[in-house]
Amino acid sequence: MSRQTSANMAPVSGGEATRRLLPFAVMVFLGYLTVGLPLAVLPVHVHDRLGFGPAIVGWVMASQSIATLLTRHFGGVVTDTRGSRPAVLIGMLLCSLAALIYGASVWAGCPPEIALLLLFVGRAVLGLGESLLITGALSWCIGTVGARYTGRAMVWVGIAMFGAIGGGAPLGSELLKRDGFGAMALAAAVLPLLACLLMKGIEPIPPHHGRRLGFFKVVGLIWPYGASLALSTIGFGSMFAFLGLDYAAHHWTGAPLGLMSFGASYVAARLIFGGLPDQLGGRRVARVTIPLQVAGLVILWLAPLPAIALAGCSVLGAGYSLTFPALGVEAVRHVPPQNRGAAMGAYVAFVDIGLGLAGPLAGMVAGHVGYPPVFLLGACASAVAFIFVLRLPAP
Is 8 domain-assigned? no
Is 1 part of any domain? no
> Helix, strand, or coil here: 210?
coil
pLDDT at position 367: 84
In this predicted structure, the answer to whether residue 147 has a pLDDT above a threshold of 80 is: no
Over residues 121-135, the mean pLDDT reads 93
Question: What pLDDT is stored for residue 150 in this prediction?
Answer: 81
What is the structure's pLDDT at 212? 65
Whether the pLDDT of residue 5 is over 50: the answer is: no
pLDDT of residue 170: 81
Quote the crossing angle between the two packed helices 14-36 and 84-107, to the nearest 10°.
20
Amino acid at 8: N
pLDDT of residue 119: 94
Residue 76 lies in a domain: yes
Q: Is the pLDDT of residue 251 over 60?
A: yes
Q: Is residue 350 in a domain?
A: yes
**pLDDT score of 12:** 57
The CA-CA-CA angle for residues 302, 307, 313, to 5°, reads 70
Residue 53 belongs to some domain of the structure: yes
pLDDT higher than 70, residue 127: yes
Q: Cα(first)–Cα(last) distance of the chain, in Å?
A: 36
Compute the distance between CA of residue 264 and CA of residue 95 in angstroms, rounded to an integer. Answer: 24
Whole-number Å distance between alpha carbons of 11 and 17? 6
Please give the mean pLDDT across all residues of the chain. 86
Rg (CA), the chain: 20
* Amino acid at the residue 174: E
Does residue 85 or residue 109 have the better pLDDT? 85
Residue 5 lies in a domain: no
Cβ-in-10-Å burial (0-12, 13-18, 19+) of 394 comes to exposed
29-43, 48-62, 74-88, 200-214: range with lowest mean pLDDT:
200-214
Share of the chain above pLDDT 90, in %: 34
* pLDDT band at residue 1 using 50, 70 and 90 as cut-offs: very low
The residues, any chain, with a CB within 8 Å of residue 197's CB and separated by 6 or more, are: none
137 touches 157 (CB < 8 A)? yes
Amino acid identity for residue 219 in this structure:
V
DSSP 166: H
* More confident of the two residues 240 and 178: 178
Quote the CA–CA distance of 309 and 307 in Å, as a whole number.
Answer: 5
Fill in the amino acid letter for 17: A
* pLDDT at res. 118: 94
- pTM check: above 0.85: no
Bigger pLDDT: 196 vs 203: 196
Residue 27 in any domain: the answer is yes
- Coarse DSSP helix, strand, coil percentages of the chain, rounded to the nearest 5 percent: 85, 0, 15
Of 145-159, 279-293, 304-318, give the lowest mean pLDDT range. Answer: 145-159
Domain with 126, as residue range(s), is 17-203+213-390
Q: Evaluate whether 129 touches 97 at the Cβ level (below 8 Å).
A: yes
Q: Give the CA distances from residue 266 to residues 180, 313, 325, 329, in Å, rounded to whole numbers and listed in that order.
A: 29, 10, 12, 18
Task: With respect to residue 225, please indicate whether it lies within any of the assigned structural domains.
Answer: yes
pLDDT digits (tens, 9 = 90+) for 163-185: 787 788 788 888 888 888 899 99
What is the distance between the alpha carbons of residues 29 and 157, in angstroms, rounded to a whole number? Answer: 8
The structural domain count of the chain equals 1
* Cβ atoms within 10 Å, residue 104: 18
- Supply the CATH number for residue 158's domain: 1.20.1250.20
Minimum mean pLDDT among 63-72, 111-120, 121-130: which range? 63-72
